[in-house]
Copies of this chain bind each other. A is one copy, B any other.
Amino acid sequence: MASAYLTASSSTALGVPHPTLRCAMAGGLLSLEACLERCIPPEDLAEVKRILYGGEARKLNLPAAALSAAQERDFELQGYGFEAAPEQLRRPRIVRVGLVQNKIPLPTDTPVAVQVAALHRRIEEIVEVAALCGVNIICFQEAWTMPFAFCTREKLPWTEFAESAEDGPTTKFCQELAKKYNMVVVSPILERDEIHGGTLWNAAVVISNSGAVLGKSRKNHIPRIGDFNESTYYMEGNRGHPVFQTQFGTIAVNICYGRHHPLNWLMFSMNGAEIIFNPSATIGSLSESLWPIEARNAAIANHCFTCAINRVGTEYYKNAFTSGDGREAHHELGYFYGSSYVAAPDGSRTPGLSRVQDGLLVVEMDLNLCRQVSDKWNFKMTGRYEMYAEKLTEAVQPHFVPNIIQDYLPFGSYKRSW
């Protein structure tokens, strides 16, 4: 196992994993959409895309300099656009959003500061390309400055990756990027909250294109599943559902496991979010068939854009750990399958980024589409939120009586099959 750890780690160094290894680890399919494109005959492909994805996403023409830089730096670069109808009183509100997915470039036993520096460098070279593509708002993956090490249940060195949201080195780094490129930066990190007992949070820092820290959003729902032992590191967020009215649009951040909770998306939307980012870290065996469903359902249900981001690759740890599933102790959490995508309020979506490679997804959207779809489908108008506020208030009472209508069958005739 130790040799597998070393081999695999070194093979992912510098973001250039061995192609065969990475295919095997990813389950063999580099991208679902690429497979459909290759296999479905042209006469059916448009119809398959309409049913599966709400139609063919418009490809953006990205600058040649950006495309060649992405290729040199070994990351995928894709661009898509969503349109809205012209209106009389509002001009189009076009914004370009960037989603970044990446592997960790260095083995997890490299010194903490060296790992952070390498991630900063990697993100810097991706953001530079995003700027060439005219990106206005960029979001990185969950806990982007570190390996997703909570599977180990070890505290050191992993808690050393935590930083102040307001003035930690990563926030300062992002402020520089924001100013340099006139870009709003959403930076999900492990937060050390010194003024509240030094507690840890899973947070996202939102930085204005002016370079100012606008605020932060904390992960509202913490998983208790498999090796996602995060609840031993930090608690459920205590900042509610803030939205950030930036120069380019009103945005919110629903971190990772919060995508499973429809009420979480709803409250961000109630507060006015038009774009909700969902920076995540999730693995294939656990969630891959849920991945295309949940963020997209949230875009539909809340008449907004959602941006689902997942990291890529397998991260190896020196000390083996068990998983509460009877398996032998092992050195990795599982395969992070990338596949980052954007869903639009009309239910359409972009193809996903690759399952195996670092990537930047550039998506142009006209935010006017949110209100247009809302006025068409009317889910907010027909939502009956007063009723649900009451029902939910009842449902959380200790003596809640569920509305159950029980079948009456004559004595002796009620055959339970269980």
Contact surface of A with B, Cβ cutoff 8 Å:
27-29, 32, 35-36, 39-41, 43-44, 47-48, 50-55, 90-95, 206, 208, 210, 212, 214-215, 220-225, 236, 240-248, 250, 257, 260-263, 266-267, 270-272, 287-290, 292-294, 296-297, 300-301, 347-348, 367-368, 376-379, 381-386, 388-389, 391-393, 395-396, 402-409, 413-418
Bound CA span A214–B409, Å: 11
On whether the beta carbons of A293 and B300 are closer than 8 Å, the reply is: yes
Contacts of A220 in B (CB 8 A): 384
Min distance, Cβ A248 to any Cβ of chain B, angstroms: 7
Q: Give the distance to chain B from A238, nearest Cβ to Cβ, in Å.
A: 10
Which of A223, A293, A368 counts the most chain B CB atoms within 10 A?
A293
Contact residue among B260, B376, B388 (Cβ-Cβ distance under 8 Å from A225): B376
How far does the Cβ of A226 sit from chain B's closest Cβ, in whole Å?
8
Find out whether the CB atom of B214 lies under 8 angstroms from the CB atom of A407.
yes
Check A389–B396 contact: CB distance below 8 A. Answer: yes
B271 near A301: Cβ-Cβ < 8 Å: no
User: With A50-B288, A377-B225, A392-B389 in contact, is A404–B245 under 8 Å at CB?
Assistant: yes
**Could you list some 26 contacts between A and B, CB below 8 A?**
A29-B48, A29-B51, A32-B52, A39-B41, A50-B289, A214-B405, A223-B382, A224-B381, A236-B382, A240-B391, A240-B403, A241-B391, A242-B404, A242-B405, A245-B405, A247-B409, A261-B301, A263-B263, A263-B385, A267-B395, A270-B395, A287-B347, A294-B301, A385-B392, A389-B395, A389-B396
Residue of B nearest to A41 (CB): B39
**Chain B residues whose C-beta falls within 8 Å of the C-beta of A222 in the assembled complex:** 382
- Chain B nearest CB: distance from A234 CB in Å? 13
Tell me the minimal C-beta distance from A300 to chain B in angstroms: 6
**A366 to chain B: closest residue by CB:** B418
CB <8 Å contact, A247 and B414: yes
Distance of A411 from chain B, by nearest CB (Å): 13
Give bound CA distance, A250 to B39, whole Å: 42
CB pair A28 B47 closer than 8 Å: yes
**The residue from B53, B257, B272, B402 contacting A382, defined by CB atoms under 8 A apart:** B257
User: How far apart are the CA atoms of A403 and B212 in the complex, in Å?
Assistant: 19
A408 to B416: give the CA distance in the assembly, Å.
Answer: 64
Nearest Cβ on chain B to A293's Cβ, whole angstroms: 5
Quick one: given A240-B403, A289-B50, A407-B244, are A260 and B215 in contact (CB under 8 Å)?
no
A243 and B347 contact, CB distance less than 8 A: no
Task: Give Cα A113 to B339, complex, Å.
Answer: 53
The answer on a CB contact under 8 Å between B292 and A51 is yes
Q: A47-B28, A377-B260, A417-B91 are in contact. Are A403 and B293 (CB under 8 A)?
A: no
A261: min CB distance to chain B, Å = 6
For A270, give its contact among B206, B402, B414 (CB under 8 Å).
Answer: B402
Q: Which 10 A-B pairs have the closest CB atoms?
A: A262-B262, A54-B289, A297-B297, A93-B418, A389-B392, A271-B402, A389-B393, A263-B388, A290-B347, A29-B47
Contact A383 B289 (CB under 8 A): no
Given contacts A224-B378, A290-B300, A407-B210, contact A266 B270 (CB under 8 A): no
Chain B residues positioned under 8 Å from A386 (CB to CB): 396
Complex: how many Å from CA A27 to CA B55?
A: 13
Asked, given contacts A39-B44, A413-B210, whether A53 binds B289 with beta carbons under 8 Å apart, the answer is yes
Bound-state CA distance A128–B154 (Å) is 60
Q: Is the CB of B247 within 8 A of A347?
A: no
The smallest C-beta distance from A303 to any residue of chain B, in angstroms, reads: 10
Does the CB pair A241–B403 fall under 8 Å? yes
- The interface residues of chain B lying within 8 Å CB-to-CB of A408 are 208, 212
B407/A247 in contact, CB under 8 A: yes
Q: Which residues of B contact A418 (CB under 8 A)?
A: 90-93, 367-368
For the complex formed, measure the closest distance between the CB of A223 and the CB atoms of chain B, giving whole angstroms: 7
